[in-house]
Structure 1
């Protein structure tokens, strides 16, 4: 099978910081080249740290390998130091591990002092922090919605609404994204991940 068909998977993932924590959201469709739907219940958000999670966008195999390595690095740090790695160090580690991989995750986490952090990571090892970020084939559409709806004083549940709206805007036009939504709510207390068959369920 042609490698280009395998690695060019489509998706929409977003992350945003709120006054109470971080929200990550992603659609649930896995596709090959944006033309064939290979899975309708793909989990594109994974917890990698007691107070952090990461989205998957790009090559499924590459993203899964990256998540395993990042989780292992965070666990090893905690085992050796007796405390979780801080989110900034986790993001820098993610950038080093992702280098050369065909993936573009969004990492979100909450520091021990309660500060919400969102980072976009690229395959060249770049790590950029912002109040919100999007990745995948629906990135442009999702970013437009985020720019229109985002405020820095959002509550966590208001952030869920904004993230869901951003993913939904991509689902309307991006054929590689669809089949519901996964939402991660990240606070100083931990990571809570829920899946919904329809975006409207996340808004209820």
Structure 2
């Protein structure tokens, strides 16, 4: 999606999501936990055997018309401690939807005294998009008592649960990599590698995608974020 006709920054971009299952890190990889985004150094935590997970990934480029307006755009946003949204489209619309969804999550948990499930988050997001034009499409991933979930949305608010998905201007290129590499029961480390490969492939062909990788892994332990200057650091 694009807001270039209004002069607004847009995320013509590549976003990817994969449902994964707990496994240990690849042999020889660093095992120190990261708290939040670790810009540039690319160390990821030891996933251990944590059960189901969702991996979300994106490139880091934002554009304004034909100009690259940012080389460090954040396109995946945590929602609480067990979910995150990856966006393509209007930057302002993405920020508004994140704020609305997080406010609803907080209100739900305050009233009910329990965490809002990923399914409930997806239902609210779909309803909100039907009521208001945010100018975005997005992927919602999360882990709750029923396991890991990945939902896809369109601009009209329709929602589907998927084992893997891609969207954005580079989504069609990313899908080729996902469909070639995805296997049912894929582990977390392999899902991270596959997501990075998909973003890297899209960045090679889509001029609106590029400038590195933002990788987010959601497990029942929380949301882990890492950024890389080059997707090859994970995709290799």
Structure 2: segments with no counterpart, 5+ residues? 23-52
* RMSD of equivalent CA atoms: 1.6
Q: 1:134 to 1:4 in 2, by over 3 A?
A: farther
Find the aligned partners of 2:13 and 2:235 in 1 and give their Cα distance.
20
Larger % of helix: which? Answer: 1
Find the aligned partners of 2:129 and 2:9 in 1 and give their Cα distance.
15
Native 8 Å contact 1:183 1:194 kept in 2: yes
- Between 159-168 and 71-80, report the one with greater CA deviation: 71-80
Deviation at 1:192, TM superposition (A): 0.7
After TM superposition, the score normalised by the length of structure 2 is 0.81
The answer to whether the aligner puts 1:164 opposite 2:196 as a matched pair is yes
Find the aligned partners of 1:88 and 1:67 in 2 and give their Cα distance.
16
The answer for the alignment partner of 1:102 in structure 2 is 135
Find the aligned partners of 1:2 and 1:74 in 2 and give their Cα distance.
31
Query: 1:37-92: per-residue Cα shift (whole Å, max 9, x none)?
Result: 00000111100132100011101111110011011111111111111111111111
**Among candidates 102, 106, 109, match of residue 75 of structure 1:** 106
Native 8 Å contact 2:11 2:89 kept in 1: yes
- Between 104-113 and 63-72, report the one with greater CA deviation: 104-113
Find the aligned partners of 2:64 and 2:93 in 1 and give their Cα distance.
14
Query: In structure 1, the residue corresponding to 2:109 is in which secondary structure?
Result: helix
Deviation at 1:3, TM superposition (A): 3.1
**Among candidates 59, 62, 74, match of residue 93 of structure 2:** 62
Structure 1: segments with no counterpart, 5+ residues? none
Count of equivalent residues: 202
Native 8 Å contact 1:23 1:183 kept in 2: yes
After TM superposition, the score normalised by the length of structure 1 is 0.94
The answer for the alignment partner of 1:146 in structure 2 is 178
Native 8 Å contact 1:118 1:130 kept in 2: yes
Find the aligned partners of 1:122 and 1:7 in 2 and give their Cα distance.
19
Find the aligned partners of 2:141 and 2:80 in 1 and give their Cα distance.
10
Native 8 Å contact 2:76 2:214 kept in 1: yes
Query: In structure 2, the residue corresponding to 1:104 is in which secondary structure?
Result: strand
Q: 1:177 to 1:2 in 2, by over 3 A?
A: closer
Query: 1:134-156: per-residue Cα shift (whole Å, max 9, x none)?
Result: 11100100111111111111111
Find the aligned partners of 2:114 and 2:10 in 1 and give their Cα distance.
38
